[in-house]
Amino acid sequence: MSDPLDPRRPPDLVLASVRHPGEEICFDVHLRAGAVSAIIPSRPGSGALPAATRVVDLEGRYAVPGLWDEHVHMTQWALASNRLDLSGAGSAREAAAVVGAHIAGDNIAEAHIAGAGSGAGVPGPVQTLVGVGFRDAIWHDLPSLDLLDGVTRGRPTALISHDLHCVWLNSAAAQQYGMPVDAGGLLREEPAFALTRELGQLPDAVVDPWVRQAGQAAAARGVVGIVDFEMTWNRDAWLRRISSGFAALRVEAGVYPQDLDRAVAEGLRTGLAVAGSGGLLSVGPLKVLIDGSLNTRTAYCIDPYPNGGHGLLTVSEAELLALLVRARQAGFVPAVHAIGDAANQVALDAFEAAGIAGRVEHAQFVRSEDFARFGRLGVTASVQPAHALDDRDAAEANWPGRTDRSFPLRSLLAAGATLALGSDAPVAPLDPWIAMSAATARARLDGREPWHAEQALTRREALTASTRGRGRLRVGDPADIAVLDGDPLTVSDAEFAAMPVAATLVAGRFTYGG
């Protein structure tokens, strides 16, 4: 395949008549060899350009650095759009009813096809039904094996929670996958992750086109790059996809501790460009999960949950310190998953003891005395603002009286932390405008009051945290650019959340529009 980012490829490109957000003066952005080579005031007809230069008149639209989603599970995001959606279920019984109706519909369709003489009715392996997106943390009733068995008619069924930390099985699925479950039918944490990985073992010929579609959809929202934390050895999958034509965005592929020895043996380190990817793929951080999630009540917290327990510390403090020291020696930036306030304290202690900077993924609940430690230790808070709105009721129920320090974007920024915004897709949609809207408005357009509005960011701060600190276009930057139909600093909240993107470029190449 030709190299999609080959800087020798003509032509040079000029994005004519664009504006910085908040400004009226139009300028032209000159792109050469994959970078911004000049930004000059627009003067139509002045100055000669090389014959091969392409000029695209953007008619006064707004240009910003391309957007990054700093936390994605890309394969799971692609799979989720092709699975049964349970996000609207307000109770276990509602979720079971959705599953039952779906299975009944499948049975009717199969009977109709079989009756037509197509041969589709010939007995064969029963496909597992996979649902996604349920939120049991605020349900008034509890999931159970009997409830799911009662609606699934013996069809293996596995329902994955919105945060990926829990799977609700029926008896047929538990037997098929050899998963011991109690009367609740629930798997949590590592058993849930293991089954989720197994459920994703579909043919590459099926999954890769779905990933390509997801990448194209992201490019249409101004995304130029993602940090992919899919729970597997991900480098080879991305090389295969890129060699088959995936070119929508840049990918930084994370590594998990179980693969660290392999990565080190192959000479990998965070930031290293992967040969054969045309500049699209590089090595991401070392991802370490040390606690669970709010939805499963496994986030590790100082105070007990209302139903008892403090959650789970899934990696001991000694093990975490050893991993961070190994990361420092091997050239990996650690990205430590920490949601509860006790987990964030443990993570920061380990960063300090190991003498290494890095990232905390989520930082959803933080002790007041720990905010300043993010800045002092050089630890980036990789946060997902949409979770604050999705989980506000769960937070109020499980962290009562303490939610002033949950999803604490303003407190982190004011204390000197660097923020990096993401989605955690499929937990929230891979759309930075949804994330930035949640960060700035702290409310959805559903009539509810903003939740802890004191923790909101300004739009300029949100843009900066979504563009790796760039904020605005500058000469010498990569030619990774999003062109917008509206001024992101002045449009209404509704327009900001649904910001129309006119074009997206990666290294000066249009990945959307153009």
In tens, the pLDDT along 166-225 reads: 999 999 999 999 999 999 999 999 999 999 999 999 999 999 999 999 999 999 999 999
Beta carbons within 10 angstroms of residue 16's beta carbon: 17
State residue 237's pLDDT score: 97
pLDDT at 119 over 60: no
What is the average pLDDT score of the chain?
Answer: 92
Least confident of 81-85, 94-98, 299-303: 81-85
State residue 138's pLDDT score: 85
The residue with tokens 């930036």 is 333
Rounded to the nearest 5 degrees, what angle is found at the Cα of 29, between the Cα atoms of 24 and 33?
A: 165
User: How far is CA 14 from its chain centroid?
Assistant: 32
Confirm if 143 and 184 have CB atoms less than 8 A apart.
yes
* DSSP per residue, 448-466: PPPSSGGGPPPHHHHHHHH
Q: At 107, is the pLDDT very low, low, confident or very high (cuts 50, 70, 90)?
A: low
Per CATH, the architecture of 79-199 is what? Roll (3.10)
Dist CA 428 CA 437 (whole Å): 13
| pTM, full prediction | 0.90
pLDDT digits (tens, 9 = 90+) for 254-266: 999 999 999 999 9
pLDDT at 120 over 50: no
pLDDT at 379 over 90: yes
State residue 49's pLDDT score: 59
| Strand ranges across the sheet with 418-421 | 67-72, 223-228, 250-255, 281-289, 334-338, 358-362, 379-383, 418-421
| CATH T-level assignment (fold) for domain 1-66+472-514 | Urease, subunit C; domain 1 (2.30.40)
SS3 482: strand
Peptide bond into 426 cis (omega under 30): yes
State residue 81's pLDDT score: 87
State residue 117's pLDDT score: 32
Domain boundaries along the sequence of the chain: 1-66+472-514, 79-199
Dist CA 435 CA 240 (whole Å): 30
Dist CA 239 CA 251 (whole Å): 10
